[in-house]
Amino acid sequence: MTVWAVIPLRATPDSKSRLAGVLDAPARAALVDAMLERVVDAACGARNVSRVCLMGTSRTALPGDVAVLSDPGGGLNAAAASALAQAEASRLIVIHADLPLVTAQDIELLAAAPAGTIAIAPDRHGTGTNAISLPLPAAKGFSFAFGTDSFARHKAEADRIGLRLEEIHSQGLARDVDEPDDLIDAAALLKE
């Protein structure tokens, strides 16, 4: 089985702007870079992931075996749809770059989802989607719905295209960094 892990990245000067009250722009940029490095390292370390791809541009050096896919613009859903169209794999994982506690084992859970099953890792609140794993070609018609209430919308999309759904619950996949209260999960990265 061939599994691609794609990490969309939106590294702009205003990245993580909701943290502006507690981190200045250089500190936010450093945090974005450190979280990306953590996610890339975890994906590269996952035994059942064949290829790791970054969609967008990074300010940090990436391992030589990480492919860079061009971002079509239009936001996260357009980027995920572009990755889905380009994937030459039997499973595609789209995983966010802001998961400071993610491990290779977390990503292995997504990659090991049963055939014909979509695996979704919800955020800590149970409303957002921090990672999604799609079986191919069965899910080629999947319509991404990242944003408000994406977890429920992705579950409905799995039902619409007639695929089983598995929820993946782990601390590493659930704990993203969006708000100042979330920074406790990134404390180790902030010290680097």
**pLDDT, tens digit, 9 for 90 and up, residues 110-119:** 999 999 999 9
Q: If you average pLDDT over residues 12-22, what whole number do you get?
A: 73
Whether residue 6 contacts residue 95, with contact meaning beta carbons closer than 8 Å, is answered with yes
Whether residue 40 contacts residue 63, with contact meaning beta carbons closer than 8 Å, is answered with yes
Class level of CATH domain 3-191: alpha beta
Whether residue 146 contacts residue 137, with contact meaning beta carbons closer than 8 Å, is answered with no
Per-residue pLDDT at 98: 93
Q: Is the pLDDT of residue 146 over 60?
A: yes
Of 15-19, 84-88, 124-128, 130-134, the poorest mean pLDDT is in: 15-19
Dist CA 43 CA 52 (whole Å)? 7
Dist CA 39 CA 137 (whole Å)? 25
Q: Is the pLDDT of residue 185 over 60?
A: yes
- Compute the 3-state secondary structure of the chain and give helix, strand, coil in percent, each to the nearest 5: 35, 20, 45
Angle of helix 104-111 relative to helix 25-45, nearest 10 degrees, comes to: 60
Mean residue pLDDT of the chain comes to: 91
Give the helix ranges, DSSP H, for 134-170.
Answer: 150-160
Beta bridge mates, 120: 132, 167
Q: If you average pLDDT over residues 94-99, what whole number do you get?
A: 96
Q: Is the pLDDT of residue 13 over 60?
A: no
| Residue 127 CB neighbours (<10 A) | 12
Q: Is the peptide bond before 137 cis (omega within 30 degrees of 0)?
A: yes
The DSSP bridge pattern shows strands 117-122 and 129-135 to be: antiparallel
**pLDDT, tens digit, 9 for 90 and up, residues 49-66:** 999 999 887 666 677 789
Per-residue pLDDT at 84: 95
End-to-end CA distance of the chain: 36
